[in-house]
Amino acid sequence: MPEMSSGRPDSAMEDAAGWIALSTIAGLGGESFRRLLAAFGGPEAVLRAGKRDLSGVVEPALAGRILQGPDRQAVEAALKWLEEPINDIVTLADEDYPRLLLNVSDPPPFLYLRGARSLLGRQAIAIVGSRNATPQGMENARNFARVLSDAGLCIVSGLALGIDAAAHEGGLSGASGSIAVVGTGIDISYPARNADLVRELEGKGLIVSEFALGTPPLGTNFPRRNRIISGLSLGCLVVEAGIRSGSLITARHALEQGREIFAIPGSIHSPLSKGPHRLIKQGAKLVEAAQDILEELDLPVPVAAPVAAQPETGGFLDSMGFDPVDADTLCLRTGLSPQAVSIRLLELEIAGLVKGMPGGMYQRLR
């Protein structure tokens, strides 16, 4: 069978063309798309159907737009994009369409993929949280993700700054990789500060989008993609989140989909603890270690690796607590001089135990 430059058979490219072509019809949402598929059997059959048959399935105005035909330029651009070997689509008709995603209320008819398609078949967990995360929150997300990835769970998140990015980093450093579900066209690198992470995901993970190529970062699309983040996953872990955080939307989707909800507690004084604490009050499972999640999901808990020895810290870290604190306050708590406190903070920062923050504040990481 002759093959395209992408290495895909002509028949596979023709099949992809039908799905993409139907998706370019203005005003055709997921529900109507699936209703048409059920009635006609496939995208090409829908595009060949007459007005009377189409009007029996969808409203006449939408039937008229289908009869006008797809956006040929958009279809050609997408097929050109598919010629790159790491680019692909997965459709409702494919055997490897994620089974968990089939159970959500609005499963996407197909998804654009960039990277390792095989990751769609792995058990997964979502890890989400604030874009404006604390250093401690970032480290928690990264460490939980790495341990869970090594335990066999692919890490799913939304490629945002903060907790999402740390979760992807942890997942990629583990054995099971990471999937990023984006709220833009898959050919749009957003946010720009995650460009290096995008390249790593393309090489060792997977990027997923339901949006057409070239779709810009529109605010309405990000809450919508959250149902896919939770839909791909056995459960959802919220690390840090404010009361109005989009992470709570993901948690709500997960709850509606019958998934497990987990939350890491934090300081009662931190605004970013409000979201996890609310979830815990509503029944989410409080977790202090990745092993808590594995046990709840009835998955094997790996033997913990030895922890590297830490430098002698005396009572200095205890004096810091886990909330951000400034040097003057540490002088009062420890009785040390400003110079001694500065030296101690520098030593601990070099050791990775303390992180400097804006405004002259410092936060304990471990």
Q: Which domains does the chain have, with CATH numbers?
A: 1-83 (no CATH), 117-296 (3.40.50.450), 316-364 (1.10.10.10)
Q: What is the mean pLDDT of residues 223-228?
A: 95
Q: What is the mean pLDDT of residues 266-273?
A: 90
The pLDDT value recorded for residue 8 is 55
The pLDDT value recorded for residue 17 is 94
Q: What is the mean pLDDT of residues 300-311?
A: 54
Closest by Cα among 179, 168, 175 to 151? 175
- Where residue 5 falls among pLDDT bands split at 50, 70, 90? very low
Spatial distance between the Cα atoms of 100 and 341, rounded to a whole number of angstroms: 52
Q: Are 333 and 345 in contact (CB under 8 A)?
A: no
Residue 319 has pLDDT above 90, yes or no: no
Range with lowest mean pLDDT among 253-257, 288-292, 294-298, 322-326: 322-326
The pLDDT value recorded for residue 15 is 87
Q: What is the mean pLDDT of residues 24-35?
A: 94
Residue environment code for 85-117, b if the CB has 16+ CB neighbours within 10 A, otherwise e: eebbbbbbeeeebbebbeebeebbbbbbbbbbb
Residue 140 has pLDDT above 50, yes or no: yes
Closest by Cα among 107, 149, 141, 97 to 124? 149
pLDDT tens sequence across 144-191:
999 999 999 999 999 999 999 999 999 999 999 999 999 999 999 999
Burial of 195 (0-12, 13-18, 19+ CB in 10 A): exposed
The pLDDT value recorded for residue 277 is 96
Instruction: Check residue 303 and report its DSSP letter.
Output: P
- Residue 139, both tokens: 């480290």
The radius of gyration of the chain's CA atoms, rounded to the nearest angstrom, is 24
SS3 357: strand
Strand partners for 9: 3
Q: What is the mean pLDDT of residues 286-295?
A: 93
Query: 73 Cβ partners below 8 Å, 6+ apart?
Result: none
The pLDDT value recorded for residue 59 is 95
Residue 6 has pLDDT above 70, yes or no: no
SS3 349: helix
Instruction: Check residue 4 and report its DSSP letter.
Output: -
The pLDDT value recorded for residue 10 is 58
Residue 36 has pLDDT above 60, yes or no: yes
Strands 325-326 and 354-357: unpaired
Instruction: Check residue 313 and report its DSSP letter.
Output: -
Q: Are 39 and 108 in contact (CB under 8 A)?
A: no
- Residue 29, both tokens: 């949402």
Spatial distance between the Cα atoms of 212 and 215, rounded to a whole number of angstroms: 6
Residue 247 has pLDDT above 50, yes or no: yes
Range with lowest mean pLDDT among 16-20, 71-75, 347-351: 347-351
pLDDT tens sequence across 54-81:
999 999 999 999 999 999 999 999 999 9
Residue 44 has pLDDT above 80, yes or no: yes
- Residue 50, both tokens: 């007459």
Neighbours of 175 (CB within 10 A): 13
Residue 134 has pLDDT above 80, yes or no: yes
Residue bearing tokens 């692909």: 88
Range with lowest mean pLDDT among 42-51, 213-222, 261-270, 309-318: 309-318
Residue 308 has pLDDT above 50, yes or no: no
What predicted TM-score, i.e. pTM, was given to this entire model?
0.83
- Where residue 305 falls among pLDDT bands split at 50, 70, 90? very low
Residue 338 has pLDDT above 90, yes or no: no
The pLDDT value recorded for residue 313 is 53
Q: What is the mean pLDDT of residues 314-336?
A: 84
Neighbours of 293 (CB within 10 A): 24
Residue 8: phi, psi to the nearest 5?
-95, 140
Residue bearing tokens 């055997």: 95
- Residue 125, both tokens: 């967990």
- Where residue 121 falls among pLDDT bands split at 50, 70, 90? very high
Residue 273 has pLDDT above 70, yes or no: yes
Strands 235-238 and 260-263: parallel
- Where residue 316 falls among pLDDT bands split at 50, 70, 90? confident
Return the sign of the alpha-carbon dihedral for residues 194, 176, 92, 256. Answer: negative
Q: Over the chain, what is the mean pLDDT?
A: 90
The pLDDT value recorded for residue 269 is 85
Q: What is the mean pLDDT of residues 89-98?
A: 95
Residue 276 has pLDDT above 70, yes or no: yes
